[in-house]
Amino acid sequence: MLHYQEHDATAQKTDNIISIPANADAMTQSSGLEKIRVTGGKTINGTIRISGAKNSALKLMCATLLSDEAVEMTNLPVALQDIQTLAGVLQQLGVALTLREDKTGTFHARVIDKPLAHYDLVRKMRASILVLGPLLARCGYAEVSLPGGCAIGTRPVDLHLMGMEKMGATITLEEGYVKAKAPEGGLQGADITFPVVSVGATENNMMAATLAKGTTRLINAAREPEIVDLGNMLNAMGAKITGLGTSTITIEGVEKLHGCTHDVIPDRIETGTWMIAAALAGGTLRLEHTSLNLVEALVKPLEKAGLEISEEGDAIIASRTDKPLKGTDIMTEPHPGFATDLQAQFMTMLTLCEGAGMVTETIFENRFMHVPELARMGADITVQGNSAIVRGVKKLKGAEVMATDLRASASLVLAGLVAEGTTTVNRIYHLDRGYENLVEKLSACGADIERIA
């Protein structure tokens, strides 16, 4: 695990040292061989402050490579392992950075002498491929290790590369590394049509296009709130991007980007996870510093199941009524459809609904890894291709479980909240990648949950 000492963001690159600060334990979530133990049956009531969005923050951090001026961020989920892994990648590239306990961060890519992202860090987190577009645009050349597949699917990056080739880059794959070279005079604006909607390919190419000559149009672009957040920050840095949140994004290239201050949007997946927790465990949760606009596709199925949902300023109030939950169907789709990152958690809720619900996963080919674990807890789920029929059972029973990815792990913690007896979730490093202070947040609301060695 990497820890970062505060640097003067304006200091020379040579001062850029990785070391372990005295406050490291307070800022990072230790994981290693730890487990989470949950004893089910407690109603949860209380207030949870939603953290900044992991999947936005990671891309915003990559975007700081586009400027030689410092970028300040607030609402940055600094305790997340993924944020720290990416901080390591950026530091290897020469970025002077500070992550602070008050959820702020400073990133200063004054000079990048070697635009090379090594396998040792990239393999830990696929999102590292998002440094490719910014490095190529800024340095005219970049070498980034190919991230490889992961538990939820093969997850190729061909569309990231296709867009950069359209902008004139020459791309080769050598010894596991993508080597990308911009043409003489830099990247050229182009029309890029994506055959499938890809969050990462949209982001990588949007960042690359900010410094290209002329206009780039991203057609069939992703519309996720994280893409809008990234575009807003790039515009605050001097980029000229329009069409954010629609399926055609237009980027007029500019000579140079400058520094800015940016507030990371709230994490909609964390928000949705706790809304589902309220449905499952009963009680009322007040989720602060978030918005219903971010989780629109989740609201209807949750209301149909029997959750009462309202909004007060920047808080969502989610309350379970006395009536039994009812099964309902969902299908994952690119935004504004139902988020694949909430599919596993929603499935956990369906296991205890009256009647049945069908879950169809259309984004990733292997995202039902939580099913056998839920079945070990007594769930009745039949998988057929990319659909799963979930028939409600009277109760789940605590068990020792383990998950292969972040959202699957969250679904097992949710199952533990309502299962009879004790559930032990192994491999919690997955959870540490994407949920800040999960145990503290849930136990403050009355859940019987703890980390154990």
Active site residue 353: no
Work out the angle between the directed axes of helices 199-209 and 132-139 (0-180°, nearest 10): 10
- What's at 314, amino acid-wise? D
37 scored as a contact of ligand EPZ (CB under 6 A): no
**Binding to ligand EPZ in span 172-231, by CB under 6 A:** 196, 198-201
Among 107, 364, 368, 435, binds ligand EPZ (CB under 6 A): 364
16 or 204: whose CB is closer to ligand EPZ? 204
Instruction: Supply the minimum distance, in Å, between the C-beta of residue 341 and ligand EPZ.
Output: 5
**Alpha carbon of 453 to those of 282, 343, 427, 444: distances in Å?**
29, 29, 11, 21
C-beta separation of 320 from 282 below 8 A: yes
50 scored as a contact of ligand EPZ (CB under 6 A): no
Among 106, 340, 411, 423, binds ligand EPZ (CB under 6 A): 340
**Sign of the CA dihedral running 232, 210, 258, 181:** positive
Positions of E strands within 56-186? 70-74, 96-99, 105-108, 116-117, 141-145, 170-174, 177-181
16 or 205: whose CB is closer to ligand EPZ? 205
Instruction: Supply the minimum distance, in Å, between the C-beta of residue 339 and ligand EPZ.
Output: 6
C-beta separation of 207 from 231 below 8 A: no
Catalytic residue among 62, 150, 353, 445: 150
C-beta separation of 181 from 170 below 8 A: yes
- What's at 238, amino acid-wise? G
Instruction: Supply the minimum distance, in Å, between the C-beta of residue 411 and ligand EPZ.
Output: 11
**Binding to ligand EPZ in span 100-139, by CB under 6 A:** 127
What DSSP character marks residue 64? Answer: G
133 or 200: whose CB is closer to ligand EPZ? 200
3-state SS assignment for residue 251: strand
Phi, psi (5° rounding) for residue 451?
-85, 135
447 scored as a contact of ligand EPZ (CB under 6 A): no
Binding segment (CB under 6 A) for ligand EPZ, from list 35-43, 66-74, 157-165, 316-324: 157-165
Nearest position to ligand EPZ, beta carbon: 200
363 scored as a contact of ligand EPZ (CB under 6 A): yes
Instruction: Measure the CA–CA gap between 374 and 401, rounded to whole angstroms.
Output: 8
Provide the b/e sequence for 71-83 (b: ≥16 CB within 10 Å): bbbebbbbbbbbb
Instruction: Supply the minimum distance, in Å, between the C-beta of residue 437 and ligand EPZ.
Output: 17
Burial of 397 (0-12, 13-18, 19+ CB in 10 A): middle
Among 15, 101, 158, 450, binds ligand EPZ (CB under 6 A): 158
Give the contact letters, 370-409, x = binds to ligand EPZ (CB under 6 A), - = no.
------------------------------------xx--
Among 148, 153, 214, 355, binds ligand EPZ (CB under 6 A): 153
# chain residues binding ligand EPZ, by CB under 6 A: 22
336 scored as a contact of ligand EPZ (CB under 6 A): no
Catalytic residues: 150
- Residues contributing to the site for ligand EPZ (CB under 6 A): 55, 58, 127, 153, 155-160, 196, 198-201, 340-341, 363-364, 406-407, 434
